[in-house]
Structure 1
Amino acid sequence: MVAHDRYAQMPSLLAGGSSPVFLMQMTPLIVTSALAYCLAQGVPEIEATTLRKVRVLDAALATVLVAVVVLVSLSTGIVADSQEATMTGRNTLFLTGLMLLARSLHDQAASAVPVGWVFAVMFAGYRDFHRPWPWAVTLHPANYVPTLALCLLVFGTGLAVHIRTRRT
């Protein structure tokens, strides 16, 4: 809540000058990195022989965690009247989905991909001041429905891939 309106001017690689980067754009990285760390703590040999569906339980953990973040970000956005705070929940959906997709390819990529995405958006996400590129979904306004739909799709795909992928 403290960081909802704080920003820094960062140099833009594609647009002339600088672009504002709100600190709230970084907060989903706390969630995705912590979740990636928790998911990496499992032992594949034990998980493969257990009767419990560990991958489904991991997906439930991710879903509950993201749901809590969405509720907190919506509450913070309403209380502080901040669009940036409201966007945090949607961005957490997207970045968690990316993290789960990356984790299915390589465990170490799970934390790196969301961080890389955020930094790419920070330095190359704006066409010009306050006009983000279509691919820079974490910069789109909170009330933009196509971006919300894309974030839900990425999160759902990440969960589905996570459940179906076997760890080696």
Structure 2
Amino acid sequence: MRSEDAVIWWFKTRRGHTLLPVALAVFAMALYAVQDTTVLLPSITGSPRIALSLFVPVPLLALLMAMLESRVPAAESSGARSVTLLDSALVTVVMAASAVCSLAVCALHGTAAATAGSRNALFLTGVMLLGRAWAGQSAVMLPVGWLVTVVVIGFRGNVPRTWTVVALPATSAFAATASLTVFAIGLAAQFRSSRRTT
């Protein structure tokens, strides 16, 4: 099989041609819709007003996991071209596209808050990929668990604690660095777990 044909076969197997456009469209539309909306949610450590944009990456991550788990193990393990690099490239492209979506929403909406959407997607993807290395597809719930933890104990009054990362302001250099670091570690873990399953 030619290299180009192998990539096309892999992309169709991952359902990228259908799931990827849907994932990015939902992410961009949700980010635009809830841009500055905050809600008061119950918390043990305060009464924080939570930005709804915190939850926008969840459908994107669910669809990304669906793509990564759409596989034909027998064909992939016997193929000459390793799909591990392709899967890692897919994750990276989805995150880059989410950054473009965030910047577009930021430009349309006139607020910098949208840029936190792709930063949070990056962080939560890293968490999900780390979990996928040992929990498989069920690791898609780890980002949801992180967000629930942030809501319940992640605030001191109405001020987010540093460890929450996703609740920090869009301008936080620490949150940006932490997100990139966790994503890089998660991508490395995903690379190793994909190699074991292919």
Q: TM-score, normalised by structure 1?
A: 0.91
Q: CA deviation at 1:78?
A: 3.3
Residue pair 2:160, 2:167 contacting (<8 A) in 1 also: yes
Tell me how far 1:58 sits from its aligned partner.
Answer: 0.9
Structure 2 unaligned regions, length at least 5: 1-31
Q: In the alignment, what sits opposite 2:197?
A: 167
Change (3 A) 1:80 1:29: same
The 2-side partners of 1:47 and 1:128 are apart by 51
1:9 aligns with 2:37: no
* Partner amino acid, structure 1, of 2:161: W
2:127 & 2:82 partners in 1: Cα distance? 22
1:157 maps to which of 174, 185, 188: 185
Inter-partner Cα distance in structure 1 for 2:74 and 2:50: 43
1:70 CA displacement: 0.9
Q: How many residues in Structure 1 have an aligned counterpart in Structure 2?
A: 165
The structure 1 segments of at least 4 consecutive aligned residues displaced by more than 3 Å after TM superposition are: none
CA RMSD of aligned residues (A): 1.5
Alignment correspondent of 2:116: 87
Structure 1 or 2: more helix by fraction = 2
Offset of 1:77 from its aligned partner? Answer: 2.0
Per the alignment, residue 145 of structure 1 pairs with 173
User: Is the contact made by 2:133 and 2:192 (CA closer than 8 Å) also made in structure 1?
Assistant: no
One-letter amino acid matched to 1:3 = V
Alignment of 1:1-168 (within 5 A): 1-15=32-46, 18-129=47-158, 131-165=159-193, 166-167=196-197
TM-aligned CA deviation for residue 83 of structure 1: 3.7
CA distance in 2, matches of 1:92, 1:44: 28
User: In the aligned structure 2, how far is the partner of 1:87 from the partner of 1:112?
Assistant: 21
Residue pair 1:99, 1:110 contacting (<8 A) in 2 also? yes
Name the CA distance, whole Å, in 2 between partners of 1:109 and 1:84: 30
Q: Is the 8 A contact 1:127 1:133 kept in 2?
A: yes
Q: How far has the Cα of 1:63 moved from its partner?
A: 0.6
Query: CA separation in 2, counterparts of 1:82 and 1:26?
Result: 18
Question: C-alpha displacement at 1:59, in angstroms?
Answer: 0.9
- Which sections of structure 1, spanning at least 5 residues, go unmatched? none
Partner SS state of residue 169, structure 2: coil
Q: CA deviation at 1:74?
A: 2.0
